[in-house]
Structure 1
Amino acid sequence: MSEDAQRARKAALRGEYAARRAARSAAEKQRLDSLLLRRARECDAATIAAFVPVRGEPGSLDVLDELARRARVLLPVTGPLSRRLEWAAYAGAEHLVPGPLGLLQPAAGDGSLLRDADIVLVPAVAIGLDGTRLGHGGGFYDRALTGVPTRRLVAVVHDDEVAATLPVEPHDVRVGWLCTPTRLQRLG
């Protein structure tokens, strides 16, 4: 399949999965996030890179708070002109501000490095059981994850956002694990 065809297929899939997320009721989202909160209570890493969920992504600020009770949590920070992520320690929801893309984030990077994270929780629209990841299309995470060992990369999705495989482009970074509200599974 050509790169143009791959990009078109990825865009179509993003639309399908976005519609699925939008159709999920608030009660169902809350139920699924409570399952992820339980999963967060089982985490024993010292440093975790995470993300603030948006657009129906799994998770919540409560999940971040639970992780922060157990570990140092790093969050991505986007700059006004940069397409590169910086990282900063999560200090609670009250310290998050809207970033240039409208996403909640720490006010500024603090010199934290992604390579210091034992586990990197990666946002995804969908994940393939072969480690392929469909992101939101900006490439921020693919650039940030380059060089991070696959075994430390954990894509976080809902159970209905798992496929056998997904279209890939040369720059796409694969992940080594998948985490849903009901399972944690090694991939590849």
Structure 2
Amino acid sequence: MIDKKKLREKYLAKRSSLTAGQVKKASDKIAAKFLDIVDRIAAERIMLYYSFRNEVITHDIIDKLLVQNKEVFLPYTVVAEKELQISRINDIKEDLIEGVYGVMEPRKKENQSIKDLDIVVVPGMVFTKKGYRLGYGGGYYDRFLSRLSEITRTIGFVFDSFLLNELTLEEHDLPVEMIITEKNIIDFRGDDY
């Protein structure tokens, strides 16, 4: 098995080579599938990440959820504690500032409860077909996922060509319950979408 550092470098380079058009087209398809799921399960409290560096684009999703009066939360990094916390946002332009690692995060650091989130959308460099992910290497999301309620749906967004058969797993690695690509929805809970 290839080590995680080399795999991360390989797929970061691959993702960087995608054109803006490719990223937008795939992201729009993923967004449509995701918003349909939000409607189907009547989700009200949703945590997303604010995309950057050719990740699956989430900005349009955030805007649409805010227009629908959903409660939208974004994470922020607390480096000293090596953890993610969340704050609710109401306006994508007014409520965000550049945070740790250049990622946009909530201006107000409110550390709101994560126990009653309906959905958490998880970014990843790559995902496996079993829901495991390779992130940027800080372990922040793995620790965050371990703190969630059992009722919270965890969903990974990834481009279809970044879906792998397997990864070298570590004890702390936790899978998401669903993966959405531009081509498919893989639901490990067995719900019909």
Q: Shorter-chain TM-score category?
A: 0.7 to 0.9
Root-mean-square deviation (CA, aligned residues, Å) is 2.0
Summarize the alignment of residues 1-188 of structure 1 with structure 2, pairs less than 5 Å apart. 9-42=3-36, 43-44=38-39, 45-70=43-68, 71-79=70-78, 81-94=80-93, 95-148=95-148, 149=150, 152-187=153-188
- TM-score, normalised to structure 2, is 0.85
Distance 1:153 1:37, change over 3 A: closer
- Note if contact 1:37-1:66 (Cα within 8 Å) is conserved in structure 2: no
Gaps of 5+ in 1: 1-5
Task: Give secondary structure in 2 for the equivalent of 1:93.
Answer: coil
Amino acid in structure 1 at the alignment position of 2:63: D
Task: Give secondary structure in 1 for the equivalent of 2:53.
Answer: coil
- Note if contact 2:118-2:152 (Cα within 8 Å) is conserved in structure 1: no
Provide the C-alpha distance between the structure 1 equivalents of 2:151 and 2:137, rounded to a whole number of angstroms: 20
Q: Deviations over 1:52-98 (max 9, x none)?
A: 01221102311211122332111101235331111011222212101
- Once the two structures are TM-superposed, the CA of residue 151 in structure 1 deviates from its matched residue by 6.7
- Once the two structures are TM-superposed, the CA of residue 138 in structure 1 deviates from its matched residue by 0.5
Task: Give secondary structure in 1 for the equivalent of 2:80.
Answer: coil
Task: Give secondary structure in 2 for the equivalent of 1:75.
Answer: strand
Task: Give secondary structure in 2 for the equivalent of 1:175.
Answer: coil
* Amino-acid identity (%): 27
Answer with 35-44 or 11-20: which moved more.
Answer: 35-44
Task: Give secondary structure in 2 for the equivalent of 1:64.
Answer: helix
- Note if contact 1:127-1:161 (Cα within 8 Å) is conserved in structure 2: yes
